[in-house]
Each structure stands twice: as structure tokens, then as C-alpha cells.
Chain A
Amino acid sequence: MSDAAGGVRGRDFTGYRIAGALSALLFLVLLAWQIVFMLGGGDTVTPEVAWSSAATEGPDTPGARTGGGTLVAETLTARTRLQDERFRTGPSAEGDVPERALDPGTRLTTAPLEDGSSLTAAWAVPDDDSAAMMHESGRVEGRSSLPYANAALFERPFARDWRIGMSDVITHMGALAILGMAFLLSAVLALRGRVPIRRGKSGRTVKRFGFLERATHWLTAISFLGLSFTGLAIAYGETLFVPLGARAMGTLGWWSTWGHVLFAPTFFLGILIMAVMWTAKNLPSRLDAQWLAQGGGFFSDDGPHPPARKFNAGQKLIFWSAILGGLVMVLTGVTLMFPFYWLDLGGMSWAMLIHAAIAVLLIAVFLAHIYIGSVGMHGAVHAMWSGRVDRNWAAEHHDLWLKENASDTEGAR
């Protein structure tokens, strides 16, 4: 298609736009589900199983329930009484059989409990006597004669805040960020269509990425995907996979924790090579401000496309997210792989929070990268696949690079 015909426009990619609209709808539903899930009450822990006593032998049928929770409470409370002063209870807990001791044929056993929320609510309120005798809450660490890491710790109330940070803040915000980004990208595809090659494909290509560049990119990309999927399985497994069965999640999660560790070294290698290879070309320049001010020409087919060298400001941002975000991930991840190697439990808790928070952000950011490199922009995927891009694509998106590159080639000849 020529300039005279008005050029290729993003809205011409009808099939892509329909797919975009459908996935936007899908992600909107997921987003709504996530918001309902998030606002749908706290995640207070409630008991899931109840004790009862059951006869295992004797005249009753084995396994038949002979008493409910009251009998359990009476039995255990009577036993608790044996720890009272010795002048009352004798020298040994085994000395006298307590009144409510179980006969040898009876066992206390557990069965699923429908709704234990009232129990948690009742437990959380201290009576006056208990409130009066409580030692105040606070971090307490002493010494221990046991040769284990962390053995000297008695109490760290921060852990309760960690739980809020992890299961309430990061998990929910991360789901919002990832689903929100997926929704926005789908909506852009539906409304705007693909970023077109305005003058159409020329049929002549120019070399953009060499073999080493592409190999490094895909090494890092595959590692990142592996880390993302295994990480998401661990972080969101309870919501996504436990409905399939706790056992299935156990197996999946076990492989995920292993896989997560296995993908890490290749990811680290990838970002190291990328840092060496691409840092010089990704230093900020004055062109970037102009590129960002014009939104990279992303939202409109009209008007001049901002000039760019080999990497435009958007790509530079992606590069630095990969390098800096990746380094934080590797640093915190390796810290967590070797507990107590250089951080104590408090430090490791922060490392875990940072690891999770940066992880969900990186996944959201790289969703955008994957989008723009594949369906989002016509002709972009070839840069990293065959390494050669169409000349018209290069002229529109990386005009300065194309000029330099073309003159280099001519000079070499």
C-alpha cells in the first residue's frame, strides 16, 4: 500500500481487534473477580477440622463416634489440671488416672469442620484475667544453648505485619497489576489495532539483531517465563489450583519450587550478557525525552514518528527494568536460597517481600513488552526472530539507527 492510499492504519487489522476485544472482556471479568475477591471480607484463619472421641475397639463399632467436642474438652481440661501444684495433683502426671481419662479403647480423632469462624472470633477476645496477665507484645531475642540458626529468637510480632504485606498487599496488588495490564493491552488492541507499518512492507530487510543478541534475548526470555510461571504457581496456587485438589497443588508446587531454582542461573547469565552487550546503547539521551513526550507514536497513526536510534526510550525502559529488576530478583532470590547465610530472619522476610513485589511488577511490565513485540506492532517480531526487519519498519521506528546502519554498510563495502 502506498502513501497516496493513506497508508496502512492500525484499525485495518480487524481480526486482531476482535481478538483484542474478546480478551479485554475476559480480563475485565477476571479483574472484577479479583476485586470482589479482594474486598470480599478478610482472610481470617478459621479452624477446618474438629476433634471428637471415637471408640476404636470394644462393644461399639470401631470408629463409631461416642462423644463430640464437649467430651474432648473435658478430657483435655482434666488432663490440664494435672499440671497444677504438686500438693494437689501428686508428683507425676502419670501418677493418678484423671477422672476424665480416656479408656484404652477410645481415641480422640479429627473430622472436617463446616464453619469455624465463630471459634476464631471467640479466641481473639481475651477475658479480663487473661488480659491482665499478658506480657506485652514485642520483639524478644535472647540466647540459646542449641546450635541451630534462629534458635535464640523468642518472639517477633513483625511476622504478623509480614503476613499482611504478603497475602493482602502484594498478592492482591500484584493480581491487580497483572490483570490490569493485560486488560489495558487488550483494550488498546481492540480500539487502536496494531501499530502498523504505515508504508507497508517494502520486502527488503535490514539486519537488526545478531545471533548472540537473539540467543541472549531468548535465553533470558525463556528463563523469565519459567520463573514467572513457577513463581505465580507458588504465589497464587492456593486460589488457582487448590480447587483442583490439595494433592495436585502439592505436586505442582513442589515442581514449581524446584523449577524456580533451576531457571534462576540461566536468567542471571542472560541479564549479565545483556548488560555487557546493550548498556552502551541504552544510556539515556535527549531523544528519549522527545520520544516519551510523543508517547512513542504508539497511540496514533498520524503525525511524525519520534526519531530513535537502535533503542528508543520505551526499549531503554524495558532494558533497565530487566537489568535492574533482574539484579534485585537474583540478589533477593539467592539470599532466600541460602537461609541465614548473610541475613537474619528479619532481613530474609524483607528480601521475600521485595522479591515478591518486584516480581509482580516485572511480570506486568514484561506483559507490555511481549505485547508490543508480537501482536502489538506489525513487523516487530522479526527483529528478535530472524534478526532482520523490514526497511520501512526500521525507517518508521528507528530512523536514525537505519541511517547510521545503512551508511556503515556502505562504508564497509
Chain B
Amino acid sequence: MARAKFLCDAERCIECNACATACKNEHEVPWGLVRRRVVTLNDGEPGEKSIATSCMHCTDAPCVSVCPTSTLYQTDIGIVLHDKDTCIGCGYCFYACPFGAPQFPKSTLFGSRGKMDKCTYCAGGPEEDHSEAEYRKYGTNRIAEGKLPICAEVCSTRALLAGDGETIGEIYRERVVHRGFGSGAWGWNTAYYPGDAG
């Protein structure tokens, strides 16, 4: 059984933000929200690294656990999806997320939050596949077509890898062996192996 993961090779990411842009465009993500973004560490200093980040689709996902309305749910390949019809904008997932992925459109002046929005691993939502409602709320559903998230498939340096965790792990390890260095799979410990997180 495949386990869908994201892996960003920090030695290859050039902070071009193509992933973030492609994601916004593919899903017509509303103004003020961004499902994928690039974080630069040690900006302008030796050892500068950039990492693309989004919802990591965690194992034993904290957001799913704390959601008071069962809006969030996980699929058998690890993808964490959400149902915007039942979301109440309470923000629990936002505090429980180790990667700052859930976001809320500002719906009023008084800070009340709209429906949560986050990366769907390009797998849409609970609506019928490729329906108008699904596209409006969650964007396109590439997984239904047997494709992988647009952010990874568009990555020009192939820094951002998506798909079966074992396979992207192999691809990454082979690279590290070939070039002789690598700073590791960022975020994997926190996201995918909560028992081992330390």
C-alpha cells in the first residue's frame, strides 16, 4: 500500500516559488490564502537553504484529532482532507498543526474565521469527483486522474517530491549518495513518525 508523502530536497530547492504559484493557479486558491509556500533558512548567510512546505499529511494527524466537528479526515494513503460544509472556523487545527498549514479567510471585521483551507494533496474533497462544487471549494482533483500534486510535478529542479513515501525516499537517498551530501528529509520526523518524534 502506498503512503503519500511530501519530501523537499533542501539542497535542490532554489526558492523559485513555482510550486506556490502553480498551486494557487491550479486550485484558484482565494486571495489571502496560500496552500504551499517556500521558507528560506539562514537567508543571505552561508548554509542558506530553502524548503517548500505545505500540509504534510501527517501520520496520526493532530488536526484530525482536535477537530470538534470531524471536518478533517484521512484516507488510506495518508492524505488528510477536509469538508468545508461542516467546518466552523474554530481554529483548533491551526493551533495543532506542526507546519502552520491550515488557514482561514477573514470573513468579518471582528476576526471571525471563515472555512478552513489547506492543501488537499490535489485530491479534492468529499464532493463528487470533478464536480463544480468540488472545484469551487477544494480545487482540482488530480489524484482521481492518477496524477500527483501539481507543486511537485511542476518543480523544475525536482526538489519537491510527492507520491509514494518509499519511492520518493529511494529517489532522495540515491541522490544523496551520488552527490555526497544532504540535509535529510525535513519535517518527516514530526509529520510521519510521531512515536519517534523527540
Contact = CB atoms under 8 A, between A and B. Distances in A.
* Pair from one complex: yes
A101 to B, nearest CB: 6
Nearest to B160: A83
Interface string A251-287: 0011011100100000000000000000000000000
A409 interface: no
A108 B144 contact: yes
Contact of A135 (B60, B100, B146, B183): B183
Nearest to A42: B60
Contacts of A160: 62, 96, 98, 190, 194, 197
Contacts of B189: 134-137
A403 interface: no
Interface in B1-50: 1-4, 15, 17, 20, 32-34, 37-43, 50
Contacts of B75: 47-51, 110, 113
Interface string B104-125: 1000001111000000000000
Nearest to A50: B76
B99 to A, nearest CB: 6
Interface in A375-392: none
Interface residues of A, number: 97
A146 B76 CA distance: 33
Q: Which of A134, A162, A235 has the most CB of B within 10 A?
A: A134
B69 A250 contact: yes
Contacts of A135: 183-189
A148 B32 contact: yes
Contact of B163 (A77, A85, A150): A77
Q: Which of A119, A125, A144 has the most CB of B within 10 A?
A: A144
A142 B73 contact: no
Contacts of B3: 123
Contacts of A46: 74
A79 B148 contact: yes
Contact of A258 (B51, B98, B112, B174): B112
Contact of A133 (B94, B164, B173): B173
Interface in B166-189: 166-176, 182-189
A234 interface: yes
Interface string B75-107: 111100101011111111011111110011000
B70 A253 contact: no
B86 A247 contact: yes
Given A76-B2, A124-B59, A157-B197, A234 B88 contact: yes
Interface stretch (A5-13, A22-30, A332-340, A357-365): A332-340
B164 A119 contact: no
A393 B74 CA distance: 60
A178 to B, nearest CB: 16
Q: Which of B17, B146, B192, B196 has the most CB of A within 10 A?
A: B146
Given A69-B76, A124-B193, A154-B51, A44 B69 contact: no
A80 B7 CA distance: 12
Nearest to B103: A148
A323 interface: no
Given A134-B184, A250-B71, A125 B193 contact: yes
A48 B74 contact: yes
A69 B77 CA distance: 9
B143 interface: yes
B193 A155 contact: no
Interface in A60-118: 69-70, 72-73, 75-77, 79-86, 93, 100-102, 106-110, 113, 116
Contacts of A313: none
A152 B194 contact: no
Interface string A225-242: 000000000111110001
Contacts of A133: 169, 172-173, 176, 182, 184-185, 188
Interface of B: 1-4, 15, 17, 20, 32-34, 37-43, 50-51, 53, 59-62, 64-71, 73-78, 81, 83, 85-92, 94-100, 103-104, 110-113, 129-130, 143-148, 152-153, 158, 161-176, 182-190, 192-198
List of 9 A-B pairs having minimum Cβ-Cβ separation, nearest first: A80-B163, A250-B86, A135-B184, A253-B88, A102-B146, A337-B111, A163-B62, A73-B2, A142-B41
Given A51-B75, A337-B110, 5 more contacts: A124-B192, A130-B165, A135-B187, A235-B68, A337-B112
16 contacts: A72-B2, A72-B77, A73-B2, A82-B153, A83-B163, A129-B169, A130-B169, A131-B196, A133-B185, A134-B188, A137-B190, A142-B42, A151-B39, A238-B69, A249-B70, A337-B112
